[in-house]
Amino acid sequence: MIGLLTWPAYGTWLAGAARGWVDPGSVQENTTLPEPEEALSTLRRRGLKWPAVRLEIEQRRLILVDLARVARLRRFTPLVAAVASDHVHLLLAVDEGRDIPRLVQLIKGALSRALTVAAGDRPAISTVGGGLRHHKWWTRQYSFRLVEDERILPAVRNRLLEHESQGAAVQEDWPPSISGA
């Protein structure tokens, strides 16, 4: 099966945002986005524990490189990835029946560790104590939408590839050793 996975960087694309948002704690499958709610967005912004994350171009490229490693380990096939300063889109192929919430957790966790190490910190084992600086790279929310009609797949690919003109790091061609879907 082919799906489009999208998740925001921490502190960006908050609930209530005018450009759309993902309802906390739920997997959105082929649903419409909630209406903008400025009061909710303001409330979420006040509740942030760390500064909002804006990924630099080097970090965006690192995510693409590490995504290839994660794909091999977690057995999915990336088709197109677009890493913007405030969110990631990943068009991927996975086996039918795959536990998507668990896969998302594994992908985001691995990419968080790679970003933390690249930032010069040891990956935090715990968010409490230990004297380790902790980076919160992603929100818990994400959107996963099945691409059920393969006729629209070229349009989805093209839309993701267009992100490059807006400063995103984009990759379509993956090493041939990535397989598993």
- Does residue 19 register a pLDDT over 80? no
- Residues 172-180 have a mean pLDDT of 64
- Does residue 20 register a pLDDT over 60? no
**Percent of the chain having pLDDT more than 90?**
52
Give the model's confidence band at 82: pLDDT under 50 very low, under 70 low, under 90 confident, else very high: very high
Q: Which of 60-69, 111-120, 122-131 has the highest mean pLDDT?
A: 60-69
Could you tell me if residue 128 is inside a domain?
Answer: yes
Could you tell me if residue 178 is inside a domain?
Answer: no
- Residues 108-113 have a mean pLDDT of 93
Matching residue, tokens 């929310």 = 141
Residue 50 is predicted with a pLDDT of 65
pLDDT one-digit tens code per residue, 25-62 = 444 444 555 555 666 566 666 666 767 788 999 999 99
Could you tell me if residue 177 is inside a domain?
Answer: no
Residue 59 is predicted with a pLDDT of 94
* Tally of structural domains, the chain: 1
The residue type found at 152 is: I
Q: Report whether 67 contacts 90 (CB < 8 A).
A: yes
Q: Report whether 101 contacts 48 (CB < 8 A).
A: no
Q: Cα separation of 78 and 90, whole Å?
A: 7
Range of the domain at 101: 2-171
What region does 159 belong to: left with phi over 0, alpha with psi -120 to 50, or beta?
alpha
Following CA atoms 83, 52, 115, 27 in sequence, which dihedral angle do they give, to the nearest 10 degrees? -60
When the pLDDT of each residue in the chain is averaged and rounded to a whole number, the result is 80
Could you tell me if residue 176 is inside a domain?
Answer: no
Q: What is the CATH number of the domain that holds 33?
A: 3.30.70.1290
Euclidean distance between the first and final Cα of the chain, in Å? Answer: 8
The pair of structure tokens assigned to 121 is: 């910190």
Residue 117 is predicted with a pLDDT of 86
